[in-house]
């Protein structure tokens, strides 16, 4: 990794009375970096979909398996994790650097809490860094001097965009597709993309649960833009060569072993996929 002078971190303004997406997710994963307002919102989500914490846990497990695949089988040695969220167990850098200690990981997030904790966590890891950036403005991230100093865009990159794009709350339904297109166009041939997103399976029971989850998220200030169907998620990955089994519920993507517990509704409400840029 090329050396680059880190800017002085901006003052971290943390409002413990305002819900944070990252802290709610941290709570659902069993973390401790959250406030009562975040826990209240998490409980509201659990009231809407009782096993909603499984969405967070299944997504984390999927990211771990996908990152391990990229490091161990695809030979990827540099990673861009956009909308990374709060540091939790089995971060991307922990997974890939366990396979290859020389792997480089750049995390990007705009939440001041995430940036503060991430920079503290990574202070002694010179192959990993946390960069402030807005996932919805790819150009700012892709041309950021720290990102460019850390990653060589002439060589394959592993792009992770997990549990991020469904946070959009505007009216432009196609914006996530255009955002992903900008990221994909910037990646060199041989790169891989790991994507996960709230999923609408278009089945009556699951769709009703998803509507309840979306409503709880919006009214609680999480700004969830909602789930997308298989076809809508596929549009975000247009042009990539999908790895088997394609776009599936995250628990079905290369599971670590046989399942010993029943699959709940919430586990069918998040889908993931990994694709390669030809």
**156, 122 Cβ separation under 8 angstroms:** no
Whose tokens are 């700004």? That residue is: 223
**31, 206 Cβ separation under 8 angstroms:** no
**Per this entry, what is the length of the chain?**
278
Q: What pLDDT does 224 receive?
A: 57
Within 8 A by CB and 6+ apart from 20, the residues are 34, 35, 38, 111, 113
| Rounded-to-integer distance, Cα 17 and Cα 86, Å | 18
Residue 40, burial from CB neighbour count under 10 angstroms (0-12, 13-18, 19+): middle
Domain boundaries, the chain: 21-252+263-276
* Strand partners of residue 275: 193, 242
Q: Comparing C-alpha atoms, which of 193, 162, 158 is closest to residue 79?
A: 158
| Rounded-to-integer distance, Cα 135 and Cα 262, Å | 35
**18, 221 Cβ separation under 8 angstroms:** yes
The SS3 of residue 93 is helix
Q: What pLDDT does 220 receive?
A: 52
Q: What pLDDT does 21 receive?
A: 79
Q: What pLDDT does 107 receive?
A: 96
What is the pairing mode between strands 128-132 and 104-109?
Answer: parallel
* Strand partners of residue 196: 162, 272
Q: What pLDDT does 3 receive?
A: 36
What is the pairing mode between strands 78-82 and 104-109?
Answer: parallel
Task: Answer whether CATH 3.40.50.2300 is correct for domain 21-252+263-276.
Answer: no
Below-50 pLDDT ranges, the chain: 1-12, 221
Spacing of C-alpha 96 from chain mean position:
16
| Rounded-to-integer distance, Cα 228 and Cα 206, Å | 13
| Rounded-to-integer distance, Cα 64 and Cα 227, Å | 22
Q: What pLDDT does 34 receive?
A: 87
Q: What pLDDT does 123 receive?
A: 85
| Rounded-to-integer distance, Cα 178 and Cα 184, Å | 10
> Phi, psi at residue 277, to the nearest 5°?
-85, 120
End-to-end CA distance of the chain: 25
Q: What pLDDT does 130 receive?
A: 94
């Amino acid at each position: 990794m090329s050396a680059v002078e880190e800017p002085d971190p901006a003052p971290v303004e943390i409002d413990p009375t305002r819900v944070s997406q990252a802290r709610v997710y941290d709570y659902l994963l069993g973390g401790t970096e959250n406030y009562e307002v975040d826990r209240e919102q998490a409980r509201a989500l659990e009231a809407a979909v009782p096993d909603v914490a499984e969405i967070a846990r299944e997504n984390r497990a999927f990211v771990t398996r996908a990152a391990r695949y990229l490091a161990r089988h695809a030979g990827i040695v540099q990673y861009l994790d956009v909308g990374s969220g709060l540091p939790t167990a089995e971060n991307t850098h922990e997974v890939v650097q366990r396979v290859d200690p020389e792997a480089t990981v750049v995390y990007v997030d705009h939440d001041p809490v995430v940036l503060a904790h991430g920079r503290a966590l990574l202070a002694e890891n010179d192959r990993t860094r946390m960069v402030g950036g807005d996932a919805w403005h790819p150009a700012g991230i892709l041309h950021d001097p720290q990102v460019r100093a850390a990653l060589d865009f002439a060589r394959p990159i592993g792009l992770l965009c997990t549990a991020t794009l469904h946070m959009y709350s505007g009216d432009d339904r196609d914006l996530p597709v255009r955002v992903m297109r900008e990221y994909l166009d910037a990646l060199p041939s041989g790169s891989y993309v790991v994507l996960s997103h709230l999923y609408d399976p278009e089945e009556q029971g699951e769709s009703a649960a998803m509507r309840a989850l979306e409503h709880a998220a919006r009214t609680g200030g999480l700004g969830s833009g909602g789930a997308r169907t298989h076809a809508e998620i596929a549009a975000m990955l247009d042009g990539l060569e999908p790895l088997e089994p394609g776009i599936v519920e995250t628990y079905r993507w290369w599971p670590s072993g046989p399942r010993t517990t029943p699959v709940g509704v919430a586990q069918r409400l998040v889908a993931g996929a990994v694709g390669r840029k030809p």
